[in-house]
Amino acid sequence: MMAYHGIVIAGFGGQGVMLIGQLIATAAMLEGKHSTWFPSYGPEMRGGTANCTVVVDEKPIASPVVETPTEVVAMNYPSMMKFGKVLKSGGYLFINSSMIHETLDRKDIKLISIPVNDIADRIGNLKVANVVMLGAFLELTKTVEFKSVEEALREKLTGRKSALLDYNLRALEEGAKYVRKSMSTVG
Q: Please provide the average confidence, as pLDDT, over all residues in the chain.
A: 92
Q: Could you report the per-residue pLDDT of 96-133, keeping only the tens digit for each?
A: 999 999 989 899 999 999 999 999 999 999 999 999 99
Report field, pTM of the whole predicted structure over 0.85:
yes
CB 112 within 8 A of CB 179: yes
What pLDDT score does 44 carry?
A: 52
Residue 59 DSSP class: S
HEC readout, 127-158? HHHHHHHHHHHHHHHCCCCHHHHHHHHHHHCC
- Beta carbons within 8 Å of 187's beta carbon, 6+ residues apart: none
Does the pLDDT of residue 92 top 60, yes or no? yes
CATH classification at residue 149: 3.40.920.10
pLDDT higher than threshold 80 for residue 85: yes
For the chain, the domain total comes to 1
Per-position b or e across 79-105, b if 16+ CB within 10 A of its CB? bbeebbeebbeebbbbbbbbbbeeebe
With CA atoms as reference, report the closest residue to 127 among 44, 19, 43. 19
| Structural domain range at position 168 | 5-184
Segment 9-53, tens digit of pLDDT: 999 988 999 999 999 999 999 999 999 999 987 665 555 679 999
